[in-house]
Amino acid sequence: MKRLLLLLALAWMAPAQALTADEAKAIALGESDARIEALNKAIATADDRTAAFLQALADDVVKVAGDKVFIVRDGKGADPVTGAAVDVPADAEDVVSNNRMRSELDGALAALQLFSPDAALRRRAVQSLQKEPDEARLPLIEKAYAAEKDAGIRDQLGLVRAAVLLGSSDKGKRLEAARLLGGSRNPATKPLLVERLREEPEAEVKAALAASLRQVDAALAWGDRLGALFSGVSLGSILLLVALGLAITYGLMGVINMAHGELMMIGAYATYVVQGVFRSWLPGHFDWYLVAAVPVSFAASAAVGAILERGVIRFLYGRPLETLLATWGISLMLMQLVRSVFGAQNVGVENPSWMSGGVVLLGNLQLPWNRIVIVGFAFAVLAGMAFLIARTRLGLFVRGVTQNRPIASCMGVNTARIDTYAFALGSGIAGLAGCALSQIGNVGPDLGQAYIVDSFMVVVLGGVGQLAGTVYAALGLGILNKFIEGWAGAVLAKIAVLVLIVVFIQKRPQGLFAVRGRSAEA
């Protein structure tokens, strides 16, 4: 309604009056075909007054009396040509528009929006024009194309123009359009060319179309390949995040931690809580909540992990199968705990505004910011963990204890405390993974269950106790999964990957990077 009022106001002030009384009459009265013809003629020389009139027609507020046309809004009549208030005769009749007329009106209004000062409106207008290219709109499109400043919209408009030309009855125009489209990097071009190729009678145009199609295909193929690669890396980085914590608790410490998924879930819920705190107390800095959530989710999961280690797990070292059962029990209790506190439904975690949108690299390749951020985050966590394990005193102790506990103990290391620290570290990293997952998926009590099989697969495939193996396995699985997904669909890809892992483990039970040693038992 606001937009409409704006249009009306503009119409009031417009000095030039392209809409004439005859045009208004022709559009409002008579047979549909004639009205549509008049409509298309009118929009070629359209001004704001035309737009207001068409909007009125679309809103069913136009009346006619004899050969005079009125816009009647809120009981007040107005002359569509001058905009001046006039009295509407009592015997004025409503103008009725059938469905065909309506869709023409919508199209025409969309075309007129091509000149709107609002870029979003223009973009939408171009999109709706793209749906049904109409040669009658060509002059309008060309006018808009010449005037358009926004490169993205201009590209789209060019495409619409070419699409209209492709449908032209003039062979020369079709030929030109076919060649023009060959340079397009827009994925929408392809169906356009394919469709035209099917209908095209002229051999020469056909050849040009086929050549353009090949060009477009070649250009798009790279975008597709890179897109699949990126989504593979993105999936791989998520797998890496969910598996990194497990690489410590399972890989280094040998604890079959079935509650790993629930530690991630705790991280995700911690993020949710931080979001709530920012929303109520610091709404001005809402975008920064995620930065605050990172340490909080780490701390929350690490604290739970430390409690678990002290309370349950340390009694079970060296009994892997029992650990599996006990941690599974813990996972059930944590899940129920979250259900009791936050409810069984998923909770909403929002992306901060700086994570929405994406970077457009090619016509058909857009990288969403949240995925890019997660890839970066995964590698940052990896770097931090590698630093901690390889360069710090704590890392030295952890390595010492896991490699030779009695000797480490003899050297004065408090091995029990190191176990707790190491387990808390692994759990904290699971919390970080949960924080990242909250940005791309649902946060609910079942969040951990969805990733537990994946994370074990990654660690086992990488070779237990091998950090490098975990990295390669995560990225490899992610990319493999996405490429299989390209031709087999998501679920079949997942099944195929699981089967491949099972087969691979048969061949190399120690995983990608086996620990070399002399022990007869694995």
Query: Which residues would be at the binding site for other proteins (CB under 8 A)?
Result: 253-254, 256, 258, 312, 315-318, 320-326, 328-333, 335-336, 339-340, 402, 405, 449, 452-453, 456-457, 460, 491-492, 494-495, 498-499, 501-503, 505-507, 509, 520-522
Q: How far is the CB of 258 from other proteins (least distance, A)?
A: 8
Task: Give alpha helix (H) positions in 438-518.
Answer: 447-462, 467-488, 490-507
Residue among 221 and 495 whose Cβ is closer to other proteins:
495
Rounded Cα distance between 131 and 152, Å, is 17
Residue among 167 and 251 whose Cβ is closer to other proteins:
251
Q: How far is the CB of 285 from other proteins (least distance, A)?
A: 37
Rounded Cα distance between 57 and 27, Å, is 9
Are 243 and 458 in contact by the 8 Å Cβ rule? The answer is: yes
Q: How far is the CB of 407 from other proteins (least distance, A)?
A: 13
Q: How far is the CB of 271 from other proteins (least distance, A)?
A: 23
Q: How far is the CB of 227 from other proteins (least distance, A)?
A: 24
Q: Is 63 helix (H, G, I), strand (E, B) or coil?
A: strand
Q: How far is the CB of 463 from other proteins (least distance, A)?
A: 11
Residue among 390 and 453 whose Cβ is closer to other proteins:
453
**Beta partners for 69?**
64
Are 175 and 201 in contact by the 8 Å Cβ rule? The answer is: no
Q: Which of 160, 94, 170 is nearest to 127 (CA)?
A: 160
Q: How far is the CB of 412 from other proteins (least distance, A)?
A: 20
Q: Which residues contact 239 (CB under 8 A, 6 or more apart)?
A: 454, 455, 458, 473, 474, 475, 477, 478
Q: Which residues contact 53 (CB under 8 A, 6 or more apart)?
A: 19, 24, 27, 62, 71, 80
User: Could you give phi then psi for residue 257, rounded to 5 degrees?
Assistant: -90, 90
Task: Give alpha helix (H) positions in 392-466.
Answer: 393-403, 405-410, 415-437, 447-462
Q: Is 201 helix (H, G, I), strand (E, B) or coil?
A: coil
In the DSSP assignment, the letter for residue 443 is: B
Are 452 and 260 in contact by the 8 Å Cβ rule? The answer is: yes
Are 442 and 264 in contact by the 8 Å Cβ rule? The answer is: no
Residue among 221 and 502 whose Cβ is closer to other proteins:
502
Residue among 93 and 521 whose Cβ is closer to other proteins:
521
Q: How far is the CB of 462 from other proteins (least distance, A)?
A: 13
Residue among 204 and 322 whose Cβ is closer to other proteins:
322
Per DSSP bridges, beta strands 358-362 and 93-94 are unpaired
Q: How far is the CB of 411 from other proteins (least distance, A)?
A: 17
Residue among 97 and 331 whose Cβ is closer to other proteins:
331
Residue among 78 and 256 whose Cβ is closer to other proteins:
256
Cα 196 to Cα 35, 132, 207, 345: the distances in Å are 29, 13, 12, 49
Residue among 75 and 318 whose Cβ is closer to other proteins:
318
Q: Which tokens belong to 229?
A: 């690669």
